[in-house]
Amino acid sequence: MKALIIGTGIGGLSTALRLLKRGYEVEMVEQFSQAGGRLNQLKKDGFLFDMGPSFFSMSYEFEELARDAGIDLPFTYHELDPIYSVWYNTPGKTFRIFKDVEKLAHEFRDYEPGFVVKMQKYLESTGKLYHDTESRIIRRNYDTLAAYAGSLMQVPPGHLPKLFRNFWQEVSRYFSSDEVREIISLVAFFLGGTPFNTPAVYTMLSYTEFVHDGYYNVEGGMYKITEGFVDLLQKRGVKISYNTSISGFLSEGDKITGFTDQDGNVFKADLYVVNADAAVFRSKILERKKYSTARLDKMNWTMAPLTIYLGLDQKVPHIDHHNYFLRNNFIEYSNKLYRNQVSLDQPYYYVNVVSRHNSNAAPEGGEAVYILVPVPDRRFRPDWSDREEIANAIIKDLSGRIGYDIQPHIVSRTVLSPVEWEAQLDLHRGSGLGLGHKLGQMAWFRPSNKDEQFRNLFYTGSSTVPGTGIPMAVISSKLVTERIDKAYGSL
Ligand SMILES: Cc1cc2nc3c(=O)[nH]c(=O)nc-3n(C[C@H](O)[C@H](O)[C@H](O)COP(=O)(O)OP(=O)(O)OC[C@H]3O[C@@H](n4cnc5c(N)ncnc54)[C@H](O)[C@@H]3O)c2cc1C
């Protein structure tokens, strides 16, 4: 039995590993020139940059994948401690974020009296939410709305009010200082939203961040995950064709009989798994009315990335591996950012000093620095011809805030705006993390991992269940494999 997987993102690669273990022959096609999707790498001027993700959480999902696929994980990961640093634009107002509550309390000693007790209560509540929903809601396939409603009814009713609050409102019930509220809420940005448009149910991510089980750096850079998985797949006979963009399909009755690429080549298999965005593929390739471009535009999408990759000829002092640069207008900025109502001269941004823990990322004595700015997608800001000017303003701002002028030390520079992100990976309007996570786009309401019309067509990745981010894409590979197991039994 043969499976064709369209896309080599983490969702596609993980699904391939699971299917191989079950005895399927697997072939993969990828429109880009190398594997990884968003988990990709930029190699330039002697520097190595992770293009998208720079750390991951929920390491137990990779361990589960390894057990299910019968592999040893082909990469090594180390827990981050501190997990990251947060810089405000007031000199000296910098916080190092530790998992250890006592150490964290010390960071907030001048801001949040009684922090330890408050944080323990918050983590207790978010932990309960996580454990009450992970197997009942998150790691589940739904065949009917009634089945989803039934699962929701199994969740203890004490969590119900969280359906009606946003992330910020929930966090504010526990903490009174702006600083702690803002920093605990940052995880909503990791989901591609803001604390004001992300439902309170996602406060469970605070539990995965601080307790179960932190954030991890991959030795040698995040791209080692992609390289390691591709290597395992190729050793097991999987053929991967790059620069191959699927553009059409062939069908008979309720079955797909093949997909065609831009040159008219036909790819045939018994079943097909789409790792391209589950909503965009239904729109562009399958031309489903429910996913017309106009309808896609009305859906809730995560913010887009503007990314800057800098190779420096010197080490940057005073800065940790992972850093968030905020300002003193958090509520106003977050609320206006999504719809392009803020000036990007003074944005909020994240800085990853890739070479701090990965010496292979920069030549001896140099530094690889990656800056990620969450920005409005192209529905709200179509034109990004000013991307170099925005990058200049950020480089100047960063230099001022860390007290070290990086501009004269830049020997390599690349800036990618939502335009390039959209073109390279077919991300809708450049949205970085795929479909957003409002209640109407979760679980049963997210594009299904099983096609509505063709019974041998399935989906994996960020815009199908359960959601976005590396661990969620790994869970999505588990959920789609369960679908395939159910449809085809064991081989
Ligand atoms: C800037 C940025 C930073 C991020 N940081 C983090 C982080 O720190 N931690 C974290 O956990 N997550 C992070 N994420 C999110 C994470 O990268 C994604 O959720 C995850 O990698 C998505 O994997 P995927 O399998 O869903 O799809 P993708 O990685 O998007 O892979 C889909 C693949 O399908 C291919 N494809 C699409 N259409 C076609 C077609 N027609 N024919 C052939 N191939 C096609 C694409 O080229 C792509 O390679 C970040 C994302 C971005 C953009």
Q: Give residue-wise pLDDT tens across range 97-116.
A: 999 999 999 999 999 999 99
Q: Which atom of ligand 1 is nearest to the CA of 37?
A: 49
State pLDDT tens for residues 421-466.
999 999 999 999 999 988 899 999 999 999 999 999 999 999 999 9
- The pLDDT of residue 25: 98
Tell me the domain boundaries of the chain.
2-39+59-77+221-299+436-488, 101-209
- The pLDDT of residue 285: 98
16's enclosing H/E stretch is: helix 10-21
Whether residue 490 is predicted with pLDDT greater than 80 in this model: the reply is no
- The pLDDT of residue 338: 82
- The pLDDT of residue 491: 75
Residue 242 backbone dihedrals phi, psi, to 5 degrees: -90, 175
Whether residue 185 is predicted with pLDDT greater than 80 in this model: the reply is yes
Greater confidence, 230 or 134?
A: 230
Q: Which atom of ligand 1 is nearest to the CA of 471?
A: 11
**How far, in Å, from the CA of 224 to the mean position of ligand 1?**
15
Handedness of CA 239, 241, 242, 246 (dihedral sign): negative
State pLDDT tens for residues 375-399.
999 999 999 999 999 999 999 999 9
Domain boundaries 2-39+59-77+221-299+436-488, CATH class: alpha beta
Q: Are 327 and 91 in contact (CB under 8 A)?
A: no
- The pLDDT of residue 489: 85
Residue of 275, 285, 351, 415 to test ligand 1 pocket, by largest number of atoms within 8 Å of CB: 275
- Nearest of 268, 350, 355 to residue 311 by alpha carbon: 355
Mean pLDDT in residue range 308-334: 95
Position 169, amino acid:
Q
* pLDDT-above-70 percentage for the chain: 100
Mean pLDDT (the chain) is: 96
Scanning the structure block, which residue is given the tokens 């009989």?
257
| Domain 101-209, architecture per CATH | Orthogonal Bundle (1.10)
If you take atom 30 of ligand 1, which residue's CA is the nearest one? 37
Confidence of residue 340 (pLDDT cuts 50, 70, 90): confident
d(CA 7, CA 371) in angstroms, rounded, equals 26
Whether residue 366 is predicted with pLDDT greater than 90 in this model: the reply is yes
d(CA 394, CA 348) in angstroms, rounded, equals 9
- The pLDDT of residue 451: 98
**How far, in Å, from the CA of 398 to the mean position of ligand 1?**
27
